[in-house]
Amino acid sequence: YFFLSNLSLVDICFTSTTIPKMLVNIQTQSQVITYGGCITQIFFFQLFGVLDDFLLTVMAYDRFEAICHPLHYTVIMNPRLCGLVLLVSWIMSALSALLQSLMVLRLSFCTVLKIPHFICELNQVIKLACSDTFLNNVMMYFATGLLTALPLTGILYSYFKIVSCIRGMSSAQGKYKAFSTCASHISVVSLFYCTILGVYLSSASPYSTHSSAVASVMYTVVTPMLNPFIYSLRNKDIKGALKRFCAMAAIKGTTVLGMKNSP
């Protein structure tokens, strides 16, 4: 629960970076943000996005140790190591976000800009610069590739080892329990990387302003919102409450249908 609670905290901070400003813009019908506010939003958006990625990777390694080395799990994943891994993740994410934000500060812009997005997305802001953006583009794509490829490689390697370990189990119940332990994390990782892929593919097209914004909504709003629900489905109390809610909804639907059909 240590990494899960930190993931929840990061998701809350991640959505808080964009959603409050977006709601204010909708309420006031004024889609304006200052230059300083835009740079600040870029920094925190990069910070919590990268941190989310690192935490999912660490959680994959945590599952690997829990399933493949259950007797040594508490020794390996001790509180000191967990705290150290979390601290390193924060430092690397902060350095990456700070570097990207400082690279934007060196660019020159016109006085009034129109960003075709609902947030100050780094790629869209760089496209609107009046000065040379070659160095920014190189740094942006290098950092994105590195900070996406390395965590994804770590996740895939962890699950490759987990599958190999599960295949060696003789008990069918043990295999099911091991797979069910990973089900929530696999769902969250798949949702996270699929939305990132959607954002990348939509932004690669020159005629993709609307589709890129829609994909970004999935990545910045929907994915962090679904993460707590996905992990909560493993909780027995949540499962029981969900079953009772579905049963009550079914009963109400049957009652309303019966009243309509009655003479």
Residues 6+ apart with CB under 8 A from 139: 99, 100, 103
pTM of whole model > 0.85?
no
Domain 1-253 has CATH 1.20.1070.10: yes
Q: What is the pLDDT of residue 20?
A: 87
Residues 6+ apart with CB under 8 A from 203: 123, 212, 215
pLDDT tens-digit map of 122-160: 888 888 888 888 888 888 888 888 888 899 999 999 999
Q: What is the pLDDT of residue 47?
A: 94
The span from the CA of 121 to the CA of 261, in Å, is: 53
Residues 6+ apart with CB under 8 A from 152: 57, 193
Q: What is the pLDDT of residue 209?
A: 61
Q: What is the pLDDT of residue 256?
A: 47
* Stretch (H or E) spanning 243: helix 236-261
Which parts of the chain are beta strand (E)? none
The span from the CA of 201 to the CA of 24, in Å, is: 29
Would you tell me how many other CB atoms lie within 10 Å of the CB of residue 22? Answer: 16
> 3-class DSSP state for residue 32?
coil
Sign for the CA dihedral angle at 32, 37, 39, 40 comes to: negative
- Assess contact for 109 and 62: CB atoms under 8 A: no
pLDDT tens-digit map of 248-263: 777 765 554 454 455 5
Q: What is the pLDDT of residue 254?
A: 59
User: Which residue positions in the chain have pLDDT lower than 70?
Assistant: 201-213, 233-239, 241-242, 252-263
Rg (CA), the chain: 22
